[in-house]
């Protein structure tokens, strides 16, 4: 089964998506209601890059103090590709998005595919995380929602006990496409780093991998500048050749023009 770039599959309501030894069955919607209900190129590229980057990390080693598995939180999980991929290689995942995305595609995609993952896989929780909610109002003991402006009904697929900080990794893709999102997203990323550090003195600030398509160079330059100057992140771009190798290994042997605008940035909080 060949791996196709997202813009070639927007019209397919149920994707059969190959990843390593798995085939994920991912529902998507292309009705214009929200950007989060379809597959995007950034999620594809980030998933393949992380799969290659993390291939030598043993899930049983537990990168966080006291954890059985390394733990990742994703902002803007969309249809759930990255969350399912990381769970399949042994990570515990909190997949977050807004309520309409969760109810439309994310929750059902996680439920549909998690039963097919091997016993060595990590767990996946689906929870609401609205970046516009101030971090002092966030909660970690609610299995449905971390941050929301309203009380949500139970949409999440969760386990007991529920996952909480500290995190070993923070990821997000295709989430910087509007100037209005820049500050809320960076504030949320900063808070996740802070709460991870506060949760355990032995845990360093987790790395953040942010994957974007540079559709608007001015917007991206502004976002990276704010990350450095306002939120005090160290900002480094993953070399294009490194990403290209990971994609080739993962079966995405696409023409350069298919994904040339995709960039992955690593953000690290100075501590």
Q: What percent of the chain is modeled with pLDDT above 90?
A: 81
In this prediction, residue 32 has a pLDDT band, given cuts at 50, 70 and 90, of low
Evaluate whether 168 touches 204 at the Cβ level (below 8 Å): no
Using one digit for the tens of pLDDT, what is the confidence trace for 131-158?
A: 999 999 999 999 999 999 885 544 445 4
Residue 31, pLDDT above cutoff 80 = no
| CA separation, residue 3 to residues 38, 85, 108, 203, 251 (Å) | 16, 14, 22, 37, 6
Lowest mean pLDDT among 32-46, 104-118, 172-186: 32-46
Average pLDDT, the chain: 90
In this prediction, residue 200 has a pLDDT band, given cuts at 50, 70 and 90, of confident
Query: What does the pLDDT read at residue 270?
Result: 75
143: helix, strand or coil: coil
- Considering only CA atoms, which of 34, 31, 33, 25 is closest in space to residue 11? 31
Helices (H), the chain: 41-53, 81-88, 99-101, 107-114, 179-199, 217-229, 240-249, 256-259
Return the number of other C-beta atoms located less than 10 Å from residue 14's C-beta: 11
Fold of 6-269: Rossmann fold (3.40.50)
Evaluate whether 83 touches 124 at the Cβ level (below 8 Å): yes
Q: What percent of the chain is modeled with pLDDT above 70?
A: 90
Domain ranges of the chain: 6-269
Averaged over 67-78, what is the pLDDT?
91
> 166: cis peptide before it, omega within 30°?
yes
């Amino acid at each position: 089964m060949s791996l196709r770039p997202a813009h070639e599959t927007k019209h397919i309501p149920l994707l059969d998506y190959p990843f390593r030894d798995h085939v994920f069955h991912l529902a998507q919607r292309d009705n214009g209601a929200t950007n989060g209900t379809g597959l995007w190129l950034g999620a594809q590229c980030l998933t393949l890059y992380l799969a290659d980057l993390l291939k030598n990390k043993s899930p049983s080693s537990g990168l966080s103090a006291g954890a059985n598995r390394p733990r990742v939180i994703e902002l803007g999980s969309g249809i759930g590709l990255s969350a399912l991929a990381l769970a399949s290689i042994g990570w515990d995942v909190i997949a977050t998005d807004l309520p309409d995305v969760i109810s439309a595609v994310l929750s059902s995609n996680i439920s549909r595919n998690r039963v097919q993952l091997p016993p060595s896989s990590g767990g996946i929780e689906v929870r609401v995380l609205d970046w516009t909610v101030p971090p002092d109002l966030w909660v970690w003991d609610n299995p449905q929602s971390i941050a929301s402006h309203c009380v949500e009904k139970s949409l999440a697929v969760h386990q007991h006990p529920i996952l909480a900080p500290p995190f070993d990794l923070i990821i997000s893709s295709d989430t910087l496409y509007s100037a209005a999102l820049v500050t809320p997203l960076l504030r949320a990323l900063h808070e996740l780093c802070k709460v991870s550090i506060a949760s355990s003195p032995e845990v360093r600030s987790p790395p953040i991998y942010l994957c974007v398509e540079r559709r608007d160079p001015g917007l991206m330059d502004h976002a990276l500048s704010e990350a450095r100057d306002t939120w005090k992140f160290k900002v480094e771009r993953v070399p294009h050749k490194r990403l290209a190798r990971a994609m080739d290994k993962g079966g995405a042997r696409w023409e350069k023009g298919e994904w040339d605008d995709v960039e992955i940035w690593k953000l690290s909080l100075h501590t």
